[in-house]
Structure 1
């Protein structure tokens, strides 16, 4: 890029708006109404090494096999409200979404400053494992995540296979480049405008504009540097070479979903990741982008249900084989 990069970062919202006005038409679908009457929110005390006692906010909906839903960088449980109001899911599964400390309704832990937040593979997986243990679920959950959460669910099946039934990872490659920039934590750049604009173009133009705008709105509300710290994990900590040696024949099944409109993690990158995870499968999502669960929940639900059925089939097959030994 030529010119003043700082000025570009400061006015990214204007660039996007000009492009929107140039477009004469859109193929975006209409949003599906979301009813949140059955979604229940609570707090849970979780001990996390390095962070201490965390009061973690989580929401639940539905009954059945538990699904633990992880939000993307700098975001929170609201990303999953579309899925949590879908009867096709809630009739078969207990959907559980939680906010990481420093995110959404989970405040920084006691004794920690607002700007103390740092995320790495250890704290991230320790926090998720702590939540699973504290929930005391009747069976281990399937974990679901996209973007940085799509990376960490792969880390979870490698580091904590006994806590996970299977993993559905969206928008993850073997590693990530070009997402961490100095403008994400710069007092000269308004984060409430820059961060949501930095992510907006990763979504599919076919997704309902209202839903894409809700993703934008969520990203405009994060605390200073929280998104940047999350992207630091995604860009510098996550690398499949750090955990691939942990995979065994008993590793829980992994399904990798790939929204084709996501230029930051294209399908080729997802297939490259799959080649490093024994037994994993890839499914492309031609209608979706980087935030499939949030930008178009009804369409993503069809892919998610396919992934969950695949995981259940794999689990059943493993149980039959073990019974025959």
Structure 2
């Protein structure tokens, strides 16, 4: 299957000057490192890559050393075996990458599934109990029967080598990716849509996304949430218009973790950090620094 090619797909990649490649945990990674100051780890969601932080990363790099990897199987990072696409596997992989870089995060930001990986890293002791910011965090199982059916369907699609190729061909149809993004609530700029389209036109990226979805275990994470350390300040930022991970998820997580700070933003959808990075940057900056931000 065809993975994104840095010489072709990465030719004008956002923040390309901050990109570097290296090996950690037995696999090749693409990671962007920019700025100076306390280390801020950014973890994107399923199906995305570092381009998801294209406008937010430069804003945060004014105050932090920002570290933003492509998750395993995503973007320009290699695809590991199935165990490396689980939540604990990805958490361990990112910990290995940080060790290779010689960096320890002072705070972590995770979007959607990336927030789940971030919490897993703290819960498993892979990083210190640092401040953590969840952006529309996908942290609880799907409701009802979907909790049992969804991973199984994704697994069936993942093991069929034809499916990623078919889906990547469909993604090349005009407007296909834009319709999917609009379906999550809100819109993003044309550049963002073009970059998502570029990734999903590559069957290797599609396969990595399906593999992540097929191996995702949110039930175990839900059971572990009550033991999340109180010393790790948790800020849950949810968008009122998110139709992919509704804000009720963040509300329920806030009820499970004493001391969690919940913030609801009107007028934004699932990709709120891409829609309005200017609004998100000060909220993230304050939460990551342990200071109060205006509501």
Give the TM-score range, shorter chain: 0.7 to 0.9
Deviations along 1:233-285, one digit per CA (max 9) or x if unpaired, are 44x345443322432333x1111111222212111121111111221111122
Question: In structure 2, what is the Cα distance between the partners aligned to 1:140 and 1:255?
Answer: 16
Question: In structure 1, what is the Cα distance between the partners aligned to 2:202 and 2:92?
Answer: 25
**Offset at residue 314 of structure 1 (A):** 6.0
What is the TM-score with the length of structure 2 in the denominator? 0.75
- Which residue does the alignment assign to 1:272? 252
Query: Is 1:58–2:24 an aligned residue pair?
Result: no
- Which residue does the alignment assign to 1:82? 55
Query: Is 1:36–2:15 an aligned residue pair?
Result: yes
Question: In structure 1, what is the Cα distance between the partners aligned to 2:84 and 2:229?
Answer: 30
CA contact (8 A) 2:73 2:85 kept: no
Root-mean-square deviation (CA, aligned residues, Å) is 3.1
Structure-to-structure mapping, 1:167-316, within 5 angstroms? 167-177=132-142, 178=146, 180=151, 181=153, 184-185=157-158, 187=162, 190-192=166-168, 193=170, 196=177, 199-223=180-204, 224-234=206-216, 236-237=217-218, 239-250=220-231, 252-293=232-273, 295-296=274-275, 299-313=276-290
- Which residue does the alignment assign to 2:9? none
CA pair 198-132 structure 1, distance change in 2 beyond 3 A: farther
CA contact (8 A) 1:260 1:284 kept: yes
Gaps of 5+ in 1: 1-33, 48-52, 316-325
- Which residue does the alignment assign to 2:130? 165
Question: In structure 1, what is the Cα distance between the partners aligned to 2:125 and 2:230?
Answer: 14
**Offset at residue 222 of structure 1 (A):** 4.8
Choose 1 or 2 for highest CA Rg: 1
**Offset at residue 208 of structure 1 (A):** 3.0
**Offset at residue 150 of structure 1 (A):** 1.7
CA contact (8 A) 2:110 2:137 kept: no
CA contact (8 A) 1:68 1:96 kept: yes
CA pair 73-170 structure 1, distance change in 2 beyond 3 A: same
Question: In structure 2, what is the Cα distance between the partners aligned to 1:199 and 1:239?
Answer: 28
SS of match in other structure, 1:225: helix
Gaps of 5+ in 2: 1-12
Query: Is 1:92–2:57 an aligned residue pair?
Result: no
CA pair 301-184 structure 1, distance change in 2 beyond 3 A: farther
